[in-house]
Amino acid sequence: MTLPAPAADVARASLLGFSSRLRDLLATLESAALVGQSEVRMRGLGEHLRFACLALPCAEALVALEVEALGRLSVPVVADPQGYRRATLEFLPSGTPFAYLLGGGGAHAAELGPDDPMIDALRPALATRPTAGIFVPIRVGESTIGGAALFAEGAPLGDHHLEMAERLAEVLALTVESFRTEQMIFSLFARALPDLLAEDAPTSLRESLAQYIHALRLGPTYKERLALALAVGKLCDRGPAEATLCAEVLARFDAYAASMGGAVPYDGTP
């Protein structure tokens, strides 16, 4: 006769499957904190570059950095006068103005042809067809770790723009240093996390994380709360007006619940 599995074993098996999926996503409090800091630095880079587009003015601006793999440059963000956007472009500096900057060269301006091979590696990240560009090195300490490129479309860039770009590079270097450090820490953490969560790991992280997840799943309303958070997030993504409306509605519900004497007990009904 087959006996039903004890509830504890069923819960444990379910928890292991959930933990396995969570391990693949690297979803821990530590990684979330690092991602949050990275987002702040990314926003800082984007806003600095957007300011440069407005001040020079220029059509687009970007930074290319040696983040981890030596010999390759990565473009994390591109900006224009309206805002900034994420980028995931990686390229070899050979044949680009960044090779000159990494070799110790200084800031310089250049005219660009319609299909100038000098910026072929950057075209996937650009939304314009620049006719001129300024390229300035980004230095941290005594080392050049990349450079910034500012592109104009239809307008020349002169000595005054070059001087402004050099001052911008000094400001960018401060943000880039923090961004680069946190990206390296996050990369190392992400690589180490699967080993830390292995069954034979010499740390208690796996057990602590499993207990934390189990505690989250104990509450009968956790799924409803997650569903509500997801619905609110989708509504806010529609625009600032929707986000404001959502905040006002939730505030009124909160005030109503408070006037009724606190939260209504959950009775198990959906």
Could you state, in chain order, the average pLDDT of each consecutive group of 10 residues for the chain (270 residues)?
46 49 47 54 82 88 78 88 90 91 90 90 92 90 87 85 87 75 64 68 64 58 67 78 82 81 48
Q: What is the pTM of this model?
A: 0.56
Longest CA span, the chain = 89
Among 173, 118, 167, smallest CA distance to 144 is for 173
Question: What pLDDT sits at residue 67?
Answer: 67
Question: What pLDDT sits at residue 196?
Answer: 65
Q: How far apart are CA 98 and CA 59, in angstroms?
A: 19
Q: How far apart are CA 241 and CA 244, in angstroms?
A: 5
Question: What pLDDT sits at residue 14?
Answer: 47
**What is the residue type of 144?**
T
Question: What pLDDT sits at residue 60?
Answer: 94
Long-range contacts of 57-60 (CB under 8 A, 24+ apart): 57/81, 57/152, 57/155, 58/134, 58/150, 58/151, 58/152, 58/157, 58/161, 59/128, 59/130, 59/151, 59/152, 59/153, 60/126, 60/127, 60/128, 60/130, 60/150, 60/151
